[in-house]
Structures are given as structure tokens and as C-alpha cells.
Structure 1
Amino acid sequence: MTGTLYLIPNTLGTNEESVSDPLLSVIPTEVQATTAKLAYFIAENAKTTRAFLKLVNAAHPLAQPLQSITIAELNVNTPAAALPALLAPLLNGQDAGLISEAGVPAVADPGANLVRLAHEHGIQVRPLVGPSSLLLAVMSSGLNGQSFAFNGYLPTDAEQRTKRIKALELRSRQEKQTQLFIETPYRNSAFLEALSTTCQANTLICVATDLTLPSETIKTQTAARWKTALAANKGPDFHKKPTVFLLLAE
């Protein structure tokens, strides 16, 4: 009998005011308890996973010492040929937890291919409840939540990025579909400037930053208003902060 692959959500950031608050406020007790029972984890980042397990341990003592828990890394640099070895313990009957560096695993996350392989091997996959920055951003944006698409990172080359923004704005207008993006946090300002100057004046743009944290900010307004705010140095305080960008052309 094979083990179960649990998809374990992580917090979306650290609350500097209280180390434990993010875990207690966004990760359900049942998820913490399930996590505490596991001895094998497949993680995007071993260091952040150990930090997460320390928080879990404070509320639900781990079944065994942290130093004896196995954490195998799976990130964007992991070759496909290495995936079967990560699933080997599950095929031998051991349960495992797949955990992202932030938010839910396998969504905008390298764990998706492992989940697919688990299905191919008949391994039970159990998604656990937790924070998703993408869904939280859609929920709070006021934009179309019936039809939306996540586009990941856009090109860093300015010309290519502009072409991509225009193409996605056109799709948004034609299909009435909300478009979602993320950017490397230190490029947030440049990305918002590109959106506000490339999009038509009445296109709605939402900027959702530090979701679930005390510093959380969410604002939706037209591209024209964002452009005016940036010109007056009144843009959002989101430098080096995790941010989701959304647009809807009407």
C-alpha cells in the first residue's frame, strides 16, 4: 500500500510583530496536526520548511525531533529524472508532505510535476486548506472572479513586456477575463509603471501586497489613476514585498 502525499500550505510571509501569528491565523489547526505527524517532506526550500516546522512544533509537537525529519528539495532546478526518487518513500508506504516556500504547493510552484507523477503511480493526493495569494488577490480585487488567468512573470525586456501586456489586456477586454501576474519584489515599481503606462486609461489594475500580514495593502483603480499617483510619488509601499498584480479591461 502506498503512502499519502499531503499538499501542505505555508504562510505567505513573516509577521515581524509576532513570529507565531501567521501560522495561527492562516494555517488551520487540523493542517498543523497533520503536518506534525509526518517525517518526510518534499520542499521547495529546506530552510524555510524547517522554520515552518518549528512554528508547527510550538503548537503541535512533532512526532519526532526536527533533526531526524527528512526534507528533500524540489525546486525549479530539479530535473525531471529526479522526481521518481522523491516518490520512492511513498511507494514504500510512507506518508509525505509537499510544501512550497510560500502559500499553497503545486500552484505557480515546481511541485505540480511531482503531483502529476504521484497520480500516475496511484498515490493518493490530499490537498490541505491554506492561504493562496492568487485567490486572495482575486477575492479582494473587485475584478471578475468568474473568469481569470494567472500569467506568472512577464518578460523583463521592456519591449517584450509591453507587447505581452497589450496582448493580455486585449484578451481581458475580449473575454472579460481578469489577468494575474507576479514580479520579483524589487521590480514591483517598474512593473506597475509598465502596466499603468501601457494599459488604456480605463483599464482596472489591482495591486495586492503582503496578503494576510499586518502590512497588507490592496488597491484597485484605473491605469490612469495609477499613472497619476506614480508621477506624484504616491505609489504603493511595496518595495521588496510579495505582490500580486491584476488587470481587467472593460
Structure 2
Amino acid sequence: MANGHKAPDSEYPLAVLIDADNANPNIVNGLLSEVAKLGVASVKRIYGDWTTPNLAGWKSVLLDHSIQPIQQFRYTSGKNATDSAMIIDAMDLLYSGPFKGFCIVSSDSDFTRLASRLREAGKVVYGFGEMKTPKPFVAACDRFIYTEVFTPQSTESEEIATTTSLSKQSSKELRRNAKLLLAIRTGIEAASDDDGWAQLGPVGSYVVKSSPDFDPRNYGYQKFSELIDAIGLFELQRTGSVVHVRDIRRNGSK
């Protein structure tokens, strides 16, 4: 429960579908490591027009990670045939494969309806995209992970732009985040006992359900417990491997 959610079974079969036009090859190691926490990537496919030079960066990593490239020519200028190919394949896999979940890697809002349709069919949908991803696509997923958390720190100006927002936020900054505080407090209230204590796992699960893009790494912290502790408005109590949390206002402290 390092990131505030319950991890699925390690044998959970997943289909990983990557939009090469809207994803950076630098994220591939972190992406597949994250997918491995969620289940088994039984299918790994990446879609794009491989005759164009802009996908050259992806070509060098496909063999290393056994990702199957799917060729999709751009038949008409201004029309994204790659999106259509991904959507058609996803529906084929939905009806023909044993998958429990889908990982859609793109920052494109065109996949919003696909995510909704897969969830309607009882599948878990994990979205992966940049922080610029439109909110409708983020909200359509069970969980959405921003790929900036996979991007190595760099001194290049273009990389600084993507990693600055992931620097560790101070207690003062976190306390100003009303949406985050409300989600945590509501989660604690929903899962707490008579004394106000709640197990951290269910609280994290509630926060993810209310905000699919929640991830402590977005605030610069690796674990949900570290984020809670940094805020300074909650008490943490550890009993072995079990962590409990309580709103500090319950004991009369400010």
C-alpha cells in the first residue's frame, strides 16, 4: 500500500496498450515496473506510424522490453489513425482475452470513452499520461498515474519543466491543498473507529477512488504514510506492519 491503494494479485493479467505519438520512450523502465506492481503484462503493444522519424526513440527500447510494435499509417493528414487502431485492438482483447485490466498509455483525451467502456465491462483501467492529460480521460480511469514520476531528473531545460512540479512539497504547501486535505479527512472518517483511528490502507483506497490521479509521488513522497506525516495535521500509529491514522483535531491539538 505504498502509494495509497491495494495492489492486485501478482498474476493479474493485464493488456498494456501504448500510444507512441503521445508517450515518451524515457518512461518505459518506470512504466513497466509500475505495471508489474499491478499485475502481469500479458500483452504489450505500442501503436504508431513507424515509417516516421519522430518515433525513432521508441525503436531502440522495444526489443529490450518485448513490446510489440503495431504499424498504423497516417492515411489522412490531421486524423489520428493510431487512436482508432488502439481502440479497435482494445475491444478485440476485451472480448477475446482473459484480461482483468487494461493499461492505456497516452495523454490523449480520445481514449476517454474507451476507458469508460472497458470499465462498464467490468475491467480495471489504469491510465498513464503526462500532467497535461485532459481531466475527462483521468476521471474515466480507475487509477491514473502521471508519467512524470518515471522521468529521471535532468539539467536540460525541457526536462526541468516536467520535473519541477514533482519536487517535495513542504508542510505549508500541502496544508494549502484543500482538495487533498478534504479527501484524506473524509477517508479517515469513513474508515475510522469510535476513537477516530483508521487503517491507512482503506484511507488511501478512498482517496484514489475520489481522485483517480492521486499519487504521493506527485507531491514528492514515495509512500502515502510519508505524505501524511509531512502534512503535520494527522497522527500516525504503527503496530507491526499495520499503520493507523487519525485527524489530530480528535485529541484536541491544533
TM interval, short-chain normalised: 0.3 to 0.5
Taking structure 2 as the reference length, the TM-score comes to 0.32
Greater percentage in helix? 2
Taking structure 1 as the reference length, the TM-score comes to 0.33
